[in-house]
Amino acid sequence: MTQSATNASEAAAYYDADEVAAFYRLCWGGADIHIGRYDTGCETVAEASLAMTRYLLSLAKLRERDRVLDIACGYGGTLRELARLGCNASGIDISQVCVDEARRANDEAGLSKKVSVEVGDFHDIQSPDAVYDACVCQESIIHSTNRPRVFAEVLRVLKSGGVFAFSDILTAENADLALVNAAFERLGVQGGATPADYRRMAEEAGFEIEHAEERPGDIKTHYAKLAEQLETPPAGLSDDTVETLKASIQRWRTALAGRHITWACFIARKPQRT
């Protein structure tokens, strides 16, 4: 399967772009590129991002020495948290910029010998079958134009009984798709996939869903925090970039205010072989 057939090259170009990388590095806390968990609303983006990672990993019930693959590891914050839990963590990401930053941050944290990161495509994971105890993916399947392929690949590389912990930004039921697509435009993706669609795709691949949860309030708060940051933008973002981001985030906030976009996480299990 070629990258163009799966939109992987387009996703790589998006995350490798200088202005996009600067936005995520400066405004999303620097360690993660995903929605945070806001229990009080007073959390910073960085604090909330780490809290969401810890929440998803807690749902997965990972054990020390589990072999875990993050199939879209971004800047590697989840990998470092996995290493601190005692897991054998490795990650792939389609973006060379993300991989380079993850490696740099891993080295800074003294974890470069415990965590491996490579450029890779979650549509075609370079791994033998049935080698991982768990896989993780946070807000990245949205970039795929062949999501069933992603679920099939994860199922393939998981051991019998292995777990797939994943989250994503999704289209709410009965949403105005025009508003969703206006928000998603900056990502270069189209809306339409709902939490029910993800459940169906995972089950059709062969997974059993153990947990499914929507938390639309978190993504609404997250984008409010991003908008607030851009009112006094950090050094490193050009004026043109800031104005473009402000317009994009306003489209997100409009769709979120109308409950057209949601966020959901899932714990899916590969059935035990009998």
pLDDT of residue 2: 39
- Give pLDDT tens digits for 55-75: 999 999 999 999 999 999 999
pLDDT of residue 274: 62
pLDDT of residue 6: 79
pLDDT of residue 30: 81
pLDDT of residue 268: 98
Q: Are strands 261-269 and 67-70 parallel, antiparallel or unpaired?
A: unpaired
Give the Cβ contact number of residue 249 at 10 Å.
Answer: 20
pLDDT of residue 4: 41
Could you give the C-alpha distances from 181 to 41, 143, 219, 252, 261, in angstroms and in order?
A: 27, 13, 16, 10, 10
- Give pLDDT tens digits for 21-31: 999 999 988 88
CB 222 within 8 A of CB 38: yes
Give me the numbers of helices (H) and strands (E) for the chain, helices first please.
11, 7
Half-sphere exposure in the Cβ direction for 23 (13 Å, CA): 24
Position 151: which residue type? F
Alpha-carbon distance of 274 to 269, in angstroms, equals 14
Regions of the chain with pLDDT less than 70:
1-5, 274
Whole-model pTM: value is 0.95
